[in-house]
Structure formats: C-alpha cells, structure tokens
Structure 1
Amino acid sequence: MKMLRAALLATALSLPLAAGAVYAATPADALVIAQNIDDIVALDPAQAYEFTSGEINTNVYDRLVGYEAEDTTVLAAGLASEWVADDAAKTITFTLRDATFASGNPVRPEDVVFSFSRVIKLNLTPAFILAQLGWTPENIADMVTIADGKVVVKYEGDFSSAFVLNVLASRPASIVDEVLVMEHAEGEDLGNAWLNTHSAGSGPFVMSDYRPAEIVRLTANESYFRGAPAMKSVIIRHVAEAATQQLLLTSGDVDLAKNLTPDQIAGLPADTVKVETYPQAAVHFLSFNQKTESLTPPAVWEAARYLVDYDGMTQSFLKGQMEIHQAFWPKGFPGSYDETPFTHDVEKAKQILADAGIETPINVTLDVINSAPFTDMAQSLQATFAEAGINFEILPGTGAQVITKYRDRTHQAMLLYWGPDFMDPHSNAKAFAYNSDNSDGNYTATTTWRNAWAVPQELNDQVTAALAESDQAKRNEDYIAIQKEVQANSPIVIMFQAALTIAMANNVEGYVNGATSDFVYYRLVTKN
C-alpha cells in the first residue's frame, strides 16, 4: 500500500494541476511543497538573483563560510574548516575541510578559485557583491590564490575582514565543482547554460529535476559532510493559486504551503496544520524628501514617528505579513537593534510640532505602489497623520513609476521597502545612514540620497568606521549605535519588518526559514 501511495504521488507530481485531480498522502521521506516558483530566471549561483533561486542555491551549494540551519544568526564554518584574517595585509587564508561534491569529486582549493573567478568573469547580476572586494576580471587571478594547499583571498578597500566574510557567505560565493561544470561548458560560458538547469555543488541536496514554472526536485546528497538529510527528496511544486495550495495542504497532498493569504491562514484546521511566522529582511518605511521645505524640520520627523498606527496595522490587514520594527537592520541578524520606542500617540505628536513652532496644516503628496498592502498602509497613514494636521494626498502608481520617481528625487513623501543585497549590516547602513555627496548629479542607490538628506558628517564617519572595524562584537555595537541615531533623528521613519507566514502539516519538524530566501534550509526536516 505504501508503494502504491508513493507511486500515485509521483504520478500526480509529474502532471499539471487540474480541477478534480486526485492526490495521495506524501511519503515519509519526502517533503512536498506547494509554492509559486515562477520567479526563477536563473539557477547558476553566478547569475541567480531571484527569491526561489536563492532558496535552491542554499540547499545544493556550500560556501567557505555561512549562516547555517542550526543557527542563522552566527557566521559558521562551511567548506572552510578554519581561517586566519590579516586586516593589515587585507588577506584571509582559508583551510578547506575534507569534503566531496555530490558528483564524488573532491572539493579542492582549485574549485574555490574557479568559482570566484567565473562570477567575476561572467559579470552577471550578482557579481557586484564579490566585486566590492576590488576584484576585476583583470586582477582576479592575483586576488584569489592557492598557497600550501590553502585558499588566500585578498581584498582592496577600507573595510574589515568581518565585512569580507559576510560577502563570502553570500549566494554568488557558492563553490561549484569545476571538473563537472567544465564538462558541460559551451564556448566561453563557463558552464552557465548547464548550471541553470542542473547543480554542481557539495550541499545537502542535488537538483535532480527542474522544469520552469512546474517543479523543482531535490535529491539528498548521501555524502554531505554534515550528514545526509532525513528527507530523501524535496519536491517543490509550482502552484500559483493560493486557494489551490490551501486545498492541497488540508487534504494532505503537500506538507508545506508557502503563499497563503491571511484569510486562508486563519481558516486552516489546527488539528492537522500548524502555522509558523518568520521575520524577513525587508524593512518598510515612510520617508520625507528634504527638497520639500515643509518636511525639513526635525520636529516633523519626530512627530511622524508618533503618528504611525503600528499596532493597528499589524493587528489587522498586515497581520502575518509584517511586524513592528523601527531600525534599518532586520531582526534576527548580528548587529540588529530591536527596540521599538515609538507608539501611536497623536497628542504627543501635536505637542512636538507645537513646541517647535511648526505651523499646520502641512499638505504633502505621498507616493505608493498601487497594490495591497501598500495602498492600505497609505490610507492608514493618511488617516492618522491628518489628526495632527499633516495631510497626505496619496499618489498611487506602478512599482516602476514609484521607484523611478524616487530615484529622480521628485517625490515629497514616499512609502517603500528595502532589503539588503547581502547579510552584512553595512548593506543597510550605507542605504539609511550614509550620504557624503548630496548633489543632484551624484546619483546613489540609497534612501538617504534619494530623499536628499545630507547626512551629518559625524554619522557618515560612524558608518565608515564600522565598515573598517575588525572586531565583530565591536562592529555589531557600532551598527547598533548608528541605528539608534537614525531611529531617533532622520527623515526616514522605519515602521515594519516583513514577515513570512508558512503553513505546514503538524508532523513536519526542523524546517528553517531565515530572513531571506538564502536562509531557507531543508536538511534538518523530519516528519514524525
């Protein structure tokens, strides 16, 4: 009977979803997921830049160092068993552990050199993350070398080895099997076309099947150096409709549903399904363009922090989608500042404005992406800010229209979100606390420049110093201090951190979902 049920599941997963289709319960050694995966453009870690791509990469590739499933807040040894950093010489020397790729080929220092070099030479979307280290196609052979069987990484720039380690924990720093990849290279593509439909890693799983907008099948790597996963396969099925995901989960045909709406979550049967909420890296904020004179007084910035109905939004239409977070670095990572000192207090906001002699009403346009939950958030802000005499005229637009206006600095107030490019606090500190040249001609992809906020030189210096700090504990303290300053005194009102709510069968244990798609782990999953 068990073999029959497994065969029925395999048949169902090989066919498109259709009305009236019949499914069997999932096998004990397979994790079956219903998820919208049509965002995948590329799976080669040198090119992959989408959410689902990151999730797949994390489960099939290892990096020298990384944030692992056991504790996603601690930078841990990966393929490197140890390393020695020399901040004065700007080098880090990595000793590799005894590990093998899923192909059976040994993981060699040459594979590390090849992996980093191909990212820089291919120069596809995520290459900029590694290029921050001063690496170019012309110098990469000198920047990543082998000495006495160890990998020596050199870097250029005024930053510390702590920053470099976080860069090397990012997706494009995944180590690929040079021998296997080059067997499938076409012309000068360094295996890029092949890696977009196959995997060549040493991680806990192998990508054994990928059909765009249909299915991703991962198979356990029995030789994984941390031990083979309990799940012999992970099957991620493309299910675009949330209602269909809900049906498959409640009928026992999938183990996880990743894209359910709050209403669907609320209606799930507690006896067979459990719901877990995971903070995500994106922070949502309201910002004021300093080219708008009425928005330049610091008293307006301070009052604004007390005019946001944080609880009202997160307990209603944002429930399960966001949680209150008032600092620029997301909760759950080293260097985060998680205190939330501001609450909805209209009388206090009025008093702040009155004490500063601010005349009201202040009439301001508010740009917002024309989709939920952004329009709902804008309407809430419009209602609460009006109580203190700050009147928002909501200007909805497409994402492209809103972001283009933001980049051009032609907005007045803006409701948007921001996520880090890699998990180092400098990624967001640069965006929210640094702006050394506020001139119109110095386009910079930061919230500070886009809001024409000439950051005080003292704060600029703090960001620069934190980037160069070699002691990780001290570095975290520095970023917390920077966040406190931005939280208290800037034209950027950080309100929420995104949250992801995932429903799963009650018998699923050990699923790990960190703050980004790069921190989704299946290797600890068991089914009781």
Structure 2
Amino acid sequence: MTGNNDTYLDRRRFLTMSALGGATALAGCGGQTTNPDGPGGTGTADPGNTDGNGGAKGGTFVNTTAEDATTLDPRMNELAWVNGMMHYLFDTLLAVKPDGSDIVPHLAKEKPKKQDETTYTIPLKQGVKFHNGNELTAEDVAYSFSWVLDPKNKSTNQENLSFVESVKASGDYEVTFNLKHPYALFELTLAGMNAAIVPKKDAEKKGQKKFAQKPIGSGPFQLKEWKSGSHLTLERFDDYFLKSPNLKQIKYRVIPKAEVQFVELATGNVHQASVPKTLLSKAQGRKNLQMKRISQFDYNGLIFNSLHEPFGNRKVREAMQYLVDYDQMLQATKGKLGKRSYGFMPLEVNKAWDFPWQEWKKKYYPDKDHEKAKQLLDEAGYGDGFDVKMSTHSSGKFKNMAIILQNEMEKVGINAEVQEVTIGQWLNQLDTGEYDVTFYGWSGGQDPDGFYYYLFRNLRNDDSPLPDNYVGNASAGMLHEAYPNSEKLKKADENVRKARELQSRDERRKLYVQAAEAFQSEFPHIPVYSEQSATAWSTKVEGYEPTAFAAQPLCNQWSNASLKN
C-alpha cells in the first residue's frame, strides 16, 4: 500500500465489499446440471464412457449464482463466489483438505522449507500445464506474486499479501519467499485464490483487462464461454496434472432469486442451488435432493460510531446491549440459517480455538433489561433520551436488526430514525464516518486473524501514512480514533499484530483472548450472528461433498464428481 488517498480508499472499499461477500460465498460450491447442448436439459452424460464408479464420464454440471462475475482475473476479483469458482480455472501452491484438518502441497512438491525466520523455499511439481499447453515454472509463480505486490497494478489482493517482501525464482522449479516478518497464516494464504498462479507470458501479452475476460490457468477446467448476466461455462482440461475431470463441463447460471434457483433444482434443470430459510423443510422432504448446511465463517451485526455523541460514551454503548434480545434478533434475521457469534467471531472459530466464548456470553451479551439500560443512560447523562439515525440496507437481515433496536430504543426514550441506504451510500458513510449506527458484516475465515487484524487493528500503526481525512476503522466503531490515549486499546493493537507473527497456536490464542476482552469491554457493536448457507444438490451427482473448506469440490485431490446415467 502506498500512502496516497486513492490507494487507501480503494483498499477500504475492497475490505468493506468483502464483508458483503459472505452471504454468497457458497454460490461457488452450488451447482446444477443441464444438457451440454443447451439450457434446461437433464445433464445427459456421454454414452458408453464411465468413470469406473458407476457414474458417467461426461455431462454438464449446472450451478447457480445470484450475481454475475465482474472479472475472471484472480488478481483483481472482489466477489466471494467468484473466488470459489476460479479454483476450477487456477491452481495454488498449497490446498486445504476438505475437512479443514490440514494444508497440503498442490502445485508445490512439498510444503515451504524454512531457511530462516523470514525466508522459505518451495519446490514445484514438474510437468504442470497451463490451458495453452505451456509448462508452469517458477518464473510464473514469482511473476504472479510480484504483480500483485506491485502498487502500480492496484491489485485488490495486495493487502492480503502485504506480509510478503518479495518472491523470486531460485531455480526452474523452485521459488524463494522473503517475508517482511514471520507470519502465522503463510501456508493458509498460499492455499487461497489470493495466491493463484497465472502464466507470465500470456498475462503480459494480453494485459490485465483482456486477461480478465479470457483467462488462462492450470486448473481442471478452462473457460469456454462467458455471457455477462446470463451464464459462464467451463470445459474439461484433459491435461490437468492431477487427473482428468469426469465432468465435461461446469456451467454457472445467473439466477438472482434463491427461490427461483430452488425451483430450477427441484424440477431437474440444475444440479445444485442455495436453499432459502423458507424452503428448508421442502428441500429436506425431496427424495431427489441432498442438502447440507455450511458455515460461512462470517460475523454480522450493528456498529456504533464512537466519534459521534452520545456513542462516544462507553456507558451509552453498554446500555444498548441491554435493549435487545440477541436470540430474537437472530430469528428475525437468519433464523435456522444463522448461529450466535461471540467475540466478533463465528461459534466454529471459538470452539476450534477453545476460546472462553461461554464466559463472554455471560459477560458481554446480557439478557434484555430496560431498567439496567436506563440506569446506564442516567449515569452517562443521557437519561432524558436523544436522537439517533440508523443506516440499514434493504436486505431483510440488516433491516430487521435496525428495526428491532429502533423499537427497543423508543421504550427508553430514544428517538431513533432508520434510514435505508444503498451499498454505495453505505460505503461512503464508512469512508467519511457520517453515521451514528450502521450495519456491518465480515467474512474472516477460520483463523482469528481474519477478523481481528482486519477489523480491529489501529491503521495508524501501519507502515504507510494515512490520508488527512482519515476517520477511523469503521468496523471497530472508531475506537482507536475516539480513544487515542487508551493503554488498553494500544495493548490490544499490539496483541493483534504480534499474534499473526507467531507460530505457536497456544501463544496466539492467549493474545487473541486478551484482545477480545479489550474490545468487547468497550461494546463497539451489537454482535448478532454468523451465517450458514444451505446448499442442495441432485442425487444424480456422485462423488461430491461440498464443505466450508473444499476448493473445487467437483474435482480435486480427494474427489472427482460424476453424473449418473
């Protein structure tokens, strides 16, 4: 990141837009099958050719997505579902096992070899082919990372690779990573689409804009056709270095409404679709479908602007916690497709890291108590109430949260106005700090760093300077800007930064517990829920098991899906 205003704002917009991607992340895993010769078919397989497991080799698996892609360049993409889809087009050095239990070599021959605290070498597999027939070498790997890290390219992935100093080809099939500092998530980063490998010669020849329309990768499928707003079709790459996919094609149809997606699935026009909460029981009752709920590793709630009175007063923010019933908010937003979140993280992350989330629940998520709320407001000097504006989006989940809080505020004398804003207006409010209360969502992944580093660090302590009009990290409720002399917040920022440099999980856990205590005790948010996506797929699909961790679940190291005859 350079220090200029444009670059900073671009990054802020990338981070906030990522927050909106969690709800559609699973669209990259869902799918439907249609006839390879046209839409609305039944996914007929190639005759006389089987995969050896009873399924047919061939056919088109038709998937659905609620929104169109804006780019097929992994270096510039900002949409979560597209990241999932692009795992079929591009490969990464490492891969996460479908159950999330380990990270294993993929394009890499072995895991990174540590030379010192900040230097790693990675040997590459030989004979890996790009879709144009050229061999993937260390030069392509070094180019892919270097391009993203070059500020002049304005890659939306630059922030995600900011811990990397340089990547060099140290042999024809070996790369050397030089890190700015030790980084706990180094291997996990190398397994994500933020670290996808593109062919240097093709990318340079086409230029970024043309490459985004007609990309070349090394994945199990290659681009066949992309009609914006309609569909995107991938076809089998027979020279894929792991195995030849059983499926002939994967097709993504753009169908904005989940209810329509489900109808298409139920009638056999597609093989997979997301299931809205209102149709869960119907999906469970259909014999031709399988269904699974998958956690999104996100966090959603309302945030208070502590640079605006009266929310600069901690007791006012604490009083807000006593106005709501968290379970009621969850039911009014996501219902059965949501889980309560604690410590600004999903319950799955809390459990996996053995965080004291049950203690946090008692300490920072109190039962609704209007008398306690009034007491705190009196102590803060706001016993007579005040006026407040709450921003919300037309999305039911966020709007319902705001309306519930509005109704409870009125019961204690607070005049709250709910204003519906567009995503563009919301982004502008975050950039300028012009809001009292607004909604927020964030997809942070399965490591606490994905939440605390991006949401709660003090950006003033980054290496690059901030613009003069900087108003604070919106997701942290402007806490660092509101309380610049707070020793508690200074220590929390240090802990968040130090935790990402340590290798010891136990040491990292201790630092995150301390940071979580510090931020929760300031009550910057009303944390409500983490999402789940319900995805259903046809029983005609064999060898397929979508999970929260699996990349390219239709064809990877562990599975190779096919369609029944």
| TM-score using structure 1 length | 0.80
Name the SS for the 1:210 alignment partner.
Answer: strand
Deviations 1:416-442 (A, max 9, x none): 22334x876434313433226599744
* Alpha-carbon distance change, 384 to 279 in structure 1, aligned in 2, over 3 angstroms: farther
Amino acid at match of 1:197: K
Shift in Å, 1:394: 1.6
Do structure 1's residue 95 and structure 2's residue 129 form an aligned pair? no
* Alpha-carbon distance change, 248 to 449 in structure 1, aligned in 2, over 3 angstroms: closer
Shift in Å, 1:232: 3.9
1:208-357 equivalences under 5 Å are: 208-258=224-274, 260-268=275-283, 269-330=285-346, 332=348, 337=355, 339=357, 341=361, 345-347=367-369, 350-351=371-372, 354=375, 357=379
Determine if contact 1:220/1:232 at 8 Å carries over to the other structure.
yes
Match of 1:55 in 2: 84
Shift in Å, 1:152: 0.6
Determine if contact 2:73/2:212 at 8 Å carries over to the other structure.
yes
Shift in Å, 1:256: 0.5
* Alpha-carbon distance change, 241 to 357 in structure 1, aligned in 2, over 3 angstroms: closer
Deviations 1:209-230 (A, max 9, x none): 3332232223344554544444
Do structure 1's residue 154 and structure 2's residue 187 form an aligned pair? no
Question: For residues 458 and 406 of structure 2, what CA distance do their matches in structure 1 show?
Answer: 29
Deviations 1:468-489 (A, max 9, x none): 2233453345334423443344
Question: For residues 449 and 375 of structure 1, what CA distance do their matches in structure 2 show?
Answer: 19
Deviations 1:148-205 (A, max 9, x none): 852111122xx423244344333232112345x26x824xx2x65145324322x333
Match of 1:18 in 2: none
Match of 2:515 in 1: 482
Deviations 1:300-335 (A, max 9, x none): 434433433332233344225532212334455675
* Alpha-carbon distance change, 487 to 336 in structure 1, aligned in 2, over 3 angstroms: farther
Name the SS for the 1:161 alignment partner.
Answer: coil
Question: For residues 318 and 263 of structure 2, what CA distance do their matches in structure 1 show?
Answer: 47
Structure 1 residue ranges without an equivalent (≥5)? 1-6, 14-21
Deviations 1:356-396 (A, max 9, x none): 83453533322222342221221122234445555532222
Match of 1:185 in 2: 205
Name the SS for the 1:54 alignment partner.
Answer: helix
Amino acid at match of 1:290: S
Shift in Å, 1:443: 4.3
- 2:449 alignment partner, one of 408, 426, 430: 426
- 2:494 alignment partner, one of 461, 465, 472: 461
Amino acid at match of 2:379: G
* Alpha-carbon distance change, 246 to 436 in structure 1, aligned in 2, over 3 angstroms: closer
Do structure 1's residue 11 and structure 2's residue 37 form an aligned pair? yes
Amino acid at match of 1:262: K
Do structure 1's residue 514 and structure 2's residue 536 form an aligned pair? no
Determine if contact 2:334/2:531 at 8 Å carries over to the other structure.
no
- Residue identity over aligned pairs, in percent, reads 19
Match of 1:19 in 2: none
Do structure 1's residue 125 and structure 2's residue 158 form an aligned pair? no
Question: For residues 460 and 290 of structure 1, what CA distance do their matches in structure 2 show?
Answer: 17
Deviations 1:443-474 (A, max 9, x none): 45542364644362121221122132233453
Moved more, 318-327 or 223-232: 223-232
Do structure 1's residue 498 and structure 2's residue 531 form an aligned pair? yes
* Alpha-carbon distance change, 314 to 338 in structure 1, aligned in 2, over 3 angstroms: farther
Name the SS for the 1:382 alignment partner.
Answer: helix
Name the SS for the 1:185 alignment partner.
Answer: helix
Name the SS for the 1:463 alignment partner.
Answer: helix
- 1:447 alignment partner, one of 475, 481, 485: 475
* Alpha-carbon distance change, 192 to 409 in structure 1, aligned in 2, over 3 angstroms: closer
Moved more, 260-269 or 90-99: 260-269
1:108-147 equivalences under 5 Å are: 108-121=137-150, 123-129=153-159, 132-133=162-163, 135=165, 143-147=167-171
Match of 1:17 in 2: none
Question: For residues 33 and 322 of structure 1, what CA distance do their matches in structure 2 show?
Answer: 27
* Alpha-carbon distance change, 226 to 462 in structure 1, aligned in 2, over 3 angstroms: same
Shift in Å, 1:101: 2.3
Question: For residues 253 and 459 of structure 2, what CA distance do their matches in structure 1 show?
Answer: 47
Determine if contact 1:282/1:497 at 8 Å carries over to the other structure.
yes
Instruction: Calculate the aligned-residue CA RMSD, in Å.
Output: 3.6
* Alpha-carbon distance change, 37 to 114 in structure 1, aligned in 2, over 3 angstroms: farther
Name the SS for the 1:475 alignment partner.
Answer: helix
- 2:441 alignment partner, one of 414, 417, 429: 417
Shift in Å, 1:399: 2.1
Name the SS for the 1:111 alignment partner.
Answer: helix
Shift in Å, 1:499: 2.5
Shift in Å, 1:40: 0.9
Determine if contact 1:127/1:172 at 8 Å carries over to the other structure.
yes
Shift in Å, 1:133: 3.2
Determine if contact 2:43/2:61 at 8 Å carries over to the other structure.
no
- 1:24 alignment partner, one of 35, 39, 42: 42
Question: For residues 63 and 106 of structure 2, what CA distance do their matches in structure 1 show?
Answer: 29
Deviations 1:251-301 (A, max 9, x none): 11211113x543344444432223322222432122222233432443443
Aligned residues: 493
Amino acid at match of 1:325: S
Name the SS for the 1:275 alignment partner.
Answer: strand
Determine if contact 2:341/2:530 at 8 Å carries over to the other structure.
yes
Do structure 1's residue 165 and structure 2's residue 187 form an aligned pair? yes
| TM-score using structure 2 length | 0.76
Match of 2:25 in 1: none
Determine if contact 1:283/1:419 at 8 Å carries over to the other structure.
yes
* Alpha-carbon distance change, 238 to 433 in structure 1, aligned in 2, over 3 angstroms: closer
Structure 2 residue ranges without an equivalent (≥5)? 1-32, 46-55
- 2:392 alignment partner, one of 361, 368, 372: 368
